[in-house]
Structures are given as C-alpha cells and as structure tokens.
Amino acid sequence: MAEAIRRRWGHFRRQPVFTGFCLFMAVLALNIIIQTPAKFFTVSNFRILLSKNMPLILTCLGQSVLMMCGVLDLSTGIQLAFVNVIAIMLPQELGVPVGLGWACALTGGVLISLFCGFCIVKLRLPALLTTFSITYIIKGVNVLIMGEPQGKVEKIIYKTYDSVLFGFLPFAALILLAVLLIWQYIKRTRYGRHMYAVGNNPRNAYAVGINPERVQMKAFLIKGFIVGLAGLCLTASNASGNPLQAEEYGIRSLSACMLGGMNFGGWGTLSCGLFGAGFLVIVQNAVYYLFNFLTKAIQGLMINSYWQNLVSDTIIFLGLLATIITAKAQRETLKQGFVKQLKRGEKYGG
C-alpha cells in the first residue's frame, strides 16, 4: 500500500503540472487563512471568484493550447476587448438580435485569432513581436468600432451568468467544465498527439508526415474559440463595453502558463494553464482581502485603487520571476523556446 502511494507520488512529481499544483495549493491555503475558512467556503464566494475571473482563466487555457504547439500570442488580451466590442455594438447599433450578435462576436474572436495564426504560422514571423504589433492593430479597430466605453447588456444575461445552479454550481463553472470536457476529447484524438509532436520539433513532425502548419493553425482556431468565450464572459460579467480593456491579459496569461509549468513545445497540459491561472486569481484575491484587513487594522491608512493596481502588476512581474523556481528542470528548453519566438529570420544584409 505504502509502496503504491510512493510510486504514485513519484509519478505525480514528474508530471508537468506538479509545480503549478503546489504553488496553487500554497496560495490557496494562505488565502483561506487570510479570509478565514468560514467566509471562504461559501457558495457566493466561489461564485464571485469564478464569474469575475473566468475571462482570465479561459485566456490562460487558450494560451496553453498555443504553447503546447510551440507558439504564443501576446495580443490575446486585446482580443477579449474585440469580442466584447462586437457583442455590445452589433445589437446596439444595427439592431441585430442579441443571440446572433453574440454568435458573430464569437466568430470575430476566432477570425482575429486566425489572422494572428496566419502571420505567425504562414508568414513565419517571430511570434512575440508580431503579436505585440497586432495588439496595436486590434486596439485601433476596437476604437474605430466603439469610440468610448458604453453600452449595456440585458439583465437576463448577466443574471444568468452570475447565477448558481442547483444551489452549488456557479454558472461560470459550467463554462469552464464544458471547455475542459471538449479539451479532454481533443486530447484523445489523433490531432492531440500531433500537437505535442509539432510543439516538440516541427521539422521532425514534418518528417513523419504531419503538416506542422495545419496543426498550429488548428491550435489558433481552438484558442480563438476559447478566447471568444472568454470575451463573452467578460461582456456578461462587466455588463458593458470598453474597447481598451483587458490588454494586460495577454502577458498575464503567459505568466500564468509559465508558472503552471507550461513549456514551449511538447511539454505541459491544459491543467498547467488552469493551475497557473488559479494561482494568479487566488493571489489577487488574497491581496484584496489583505488590503481590506490592513485598512481596518491601521487607523488612517488610505489605500486607493492605484495601490491595488500596482500590487497586481507587481505580482505579474514576480510571477514571471518565480519561473526560475518552477521551471528549473525544463529551463533550458524554455529558454530555447523563447529564442525561437523572438528571432526567426536569418541574418540579412550587412
């Protein structure tokens, strides 16, 4: 019995998700202590946590799908705003039925993701810089469609999104479960295995008869769908439109995936992205309660939203730094993967 447990444990330790899981559990414990268990383990707390952070969690899942194939997308964040803008503006300006408008928004998310995929996969441009520039393009398009933050969502939509089914299952969790189920299916198909092969080494994958370009484009398609869902979640949870929001989700999701133990190409699973996202979410939550606690405990201490923003951005930065610890074993591969993202061209000219 003990032998079996030890073997299981040893097996689990070698899983990509191990570091992410440990980090997540550590901050979860910390958060429960700060927030007190009685207040943490309530349905409404879970509902708020999930419905507010579902866009970020889904973005991280999308990013980890890409990273599995050895590519990445920094413009994921602003793509959420793009979906949000379409979902608000189509019904408001053109009188399109809400359902159809939202379907169009989802399609728009997929299309814009495919555009990124085209630039990176077909044109073979360096992923990091290209998607960083594409951020500017999408930002421009967003503001062209919607000049300033405006619009509203019908009450039934955000009520449904915030609702709790059967007294314990938040609606947002249902979306997450659906995405994870779809992924469980994709992972088991032939395509799922091709993703790892291409991520590991596109040249070798090509040699054994896999079309790397098609596999990577399909990854962008899946990511586009997930990001489209994330954008709709963002619309439902904010109940309004803002063309310039969520831009930092791109780098945040990258940071989360790396924290979760994700690596470029052939290493890591979707749960890496999930635990990485969970880590960021829980840390943010814990910081919020810590600040609340501090303002109550210390008289005359005023903390404005600027401080909160500073702390949350510092956490992204520290999260990136923490990859030294988490990705220790795979650090060299991670580094090389990034070099691949950064420089693709050969030397040219003189």
Partner 1 sequence: MGSGLRIRRFVKYNRPGMALVIALFLLLITVLINPKSLNINTFGSILVQTMLLSFAAAGQTMVVISGGVDLSVGSVMSMAAVITTGIMQGQGGRFAQVILATVAMGAAIGLLNGVCAVRVGLPPIVITLAVSYVVTRLQYVFTGGMPTGVAAALFKKTVQYRIFGLIPAATMYAVVIWALAFFLIHRSRFGKQLYLTGNNESAARLNGINTRKIRVLTFVLSGVFSAVAGVLGAGYMGMSQCQLFDNYAYNSLVAVIVGGSLFVGGVGSYFGSITGSLVMIVLSNGLTVLDISQPVRNLVLGLVMVILLTLYNRAKPIRQ
The residues that touch partner 1, with contacts defined as CB under 8 A, are: 119, 123-126, 128-130, 132-144, 202-203, 206, 212-213, 248, 251, 254-255, 304, 306-307, 309-310, 313-314, 316-317, 320-321, 323-324, 331, 334-335, 338-339, 341-350
d(CA 249, CA 241): 16
Radius of gyration of the chain (CA): 21
CB nearer to partner 1: pick between 212 and 228:
212
CB nearer to partner 1: pick between 166 and 348:
348
**Dihedral angle, C-alpha 82, 83, 87, 92, nearest 10 °:** 0
- Give me the helices (H) in 155-269, please: 155-161, 171-188, 190-200, 202-207, 212-238, 249-259
* Closest distance to partner 1 from the beta carbon of 61 (Å): 19
Burial 140-167 (b: 16+ CB within 10 A, else e): eebeebbeeeebebeeebbeebbebeee
* Closest distance to partner 1 from the beta carbon of 258 (Å): 8
* Closest distance to partner 1 from the beta carbon of 311 (Å): 9
Residues 6+ apart with CB under 8 A from 283: 27, 31, 315
CB nearer to partner 1: pick between 41 and 136:
136
CB nearer to partner 1: pick between 190 and 347:
347
CB nearer to partner 1: pick between 46 and 206:
206
* Closest distance to partner 1 from the beta carbon of 243 (Å): 8
Q: What residues does 170 pair with on adjacent strands?
A: 164
d(CA 340, CA 191): 23
CB nearer to partner 1: pick between 23 and 254:
254
Of 337, 344, 339, 345, nearest to 69 (Cα)?
A: 337
Give the C-alpha distances (Å, rounded to integers) separating 132 from 97, 224, 328.
34, 17, 27
Burial 33-65 (b: 16+ CB within 10 A, else e): ebbeeeebeeeeebbbbbbbbbbbbbbbbbbbb
In this structure, the strands spanning 164-165 and 169-170 are: antiparallel
* Closest distance to partner 1 from the beta carbon of 226 (Å): 21
DSSP codes joined into one string, 288-319: HHHHHHHHHHSTT----HHHHHHHHHHHHHHH
* Closest distance to partner 1 from the beta carbon of 85 (Å): 12
CB nearer to partner 1: pick between 49 and 72:
72
* Closest distance to partner 1 from the beta carbon of 159 (Å): 33
* Closest distance to partner 1 from the beta carbon of 266 (Å): 16
d(CA 239, CA 155): 8
* Closest distance to partner 1 from the beta carbon of 115 (Å): 10
CB nearer to partner 1: pick between 298 and 318:
318
Burial 107-121 (b: 16+ CB within 10 A, else e): ebbbebbbbbbebbb
CB nearer to partner 1: pick between 155 and 347:
347
